[in-house]
Amino acid sequence: MTSIHKYLLQAMDNYPYNLEDTLESLDFALSYDENNTMVLCLYGRMHAEQLQQYEEAKACFQKALSINVNAVEIYPYYIETLLFNEDFEEAEKLIAFALSIKGIRKIDIKLREVLLYEMRMDIEKAMELAKQLKLYTFDSEWNSTIRDTVKRLKKKIRILHGKPEKPGKRPSEDEQS
């Protein structure tokens, strides 16, 4: 195993629980190869997920994709960053492009497409897409995520239409908070 892979794996193992060690390992990995797309992706994730520095994260993702447009590991995180930065049009274009890339896990991208419409408050469109998510899965790992997404969207639709909770149903702890 080369040194860059050793440090990349250390960074991946430490993220997100030990950010100091993650950063140290990423710095070592970059010193071996400043154009490694996986290292740049993890840097982007740190900026977006931990520091909410979305512009810096976008720069990391853009650099990585300029090196290798087929680096499938980048797209879900880049799209999510665009969504949380409210760059909806850019996210929509990136989703369409990502879905055309051979080898990409379409469920990762389609789930973020649902999130795009949900964040735009087009809840009905989000629900329509969420109901199709199972078409993109090939194991049961995603079932709870899909179920929770549909459930959340149904609650939002009821709120938007001013409908009360279903009778005889007690709110769960999540609904009470």
Do residue 97 and residue 121 come from a single domain?
no
Q: Is pLDDT of 8 > 70?
A: yes
Q: Is pLDDT of 171 > 70?
A: no
Q: Is pLDDT of 66 > 50?
A: yes
Structural domain contains residue 135: yes
Do residue 100 and residue 112 come from a single domain?
no
Q: Would you say 57 and 41 are in contact if contact means Cβ atoms under 8 Å apart?
A: no
Do residue 116 and residue 31 come from a single domain?
no
Q: Among 109, 123, 48, 37, which Cα is nearest to 82's? A: 48
Do residue 72 and residue 135 come from a single domain?
no
Structural domain contains residue 130: yes
For 28, 121, 162, the CA distances from 159, given in Å and listed in that order, are 50, 12, 5
Q: Among 33, 114, 44, 126, which Cα is nearest to 77's? A: 44
Do residue 135 and residue 100 come from a single domain?
no
Alpha helices in 33-142 (DSSP H): 37-45, 54-67, 75-84, 88-98, 106-119, 123-130
Cβ-in-10-Å burial (0-12, 13-18, 19+) of 89 comes to exposed
What pLDDT does residue 2 have? 84
Do residue 9 and residue 91 come from a single domain?
yes
Do residue 70 and residue 120 come from a single domain?
no
**CA separation for the pair 94, 91 (Å, rounded):** 5
Do residue 56 and residue 120 come from a single domain?
no
- Stretch 97-119: mean pLDDT, rounded? 98
Q: Is pLDDT of 22 > 50?
A: yes
Tokens 């977006």 belong to residue:
48
Cβ-in-10-Å burial (0-12, 13-18, 19+) of 32 comes to middle
What mean pLDDT, rounded, does the chain reach? 93
Do residue 23 and residue 52 come from a single domain?
yes
- Stretch 139-165: mean pLDDT, rounded? 92
What pLDDT does residue 177 have? 39
Question: Residue 128's CB: how many other CB atoms inside 10 A?
Answer: 13
Structural domain contains residue 168: no
Do residue 78 and residue 4 come from a single domain?
yes
Structural domain contains residue 21: yes
**Which domain, by its residues, includes 98?**
1-104
Report how far Cα 34 is from the mean position of its chain's Cα atoms. 24
Do residue 100 and residue 118 come from a single domain?
no
Number of domains in the chain: 2
Do residue 7 and residue 78 come from a single domain?
yes
What pLDDT does residue 164 have? 76
- Stretch 87-92: mean pLDDT, rounded? 98
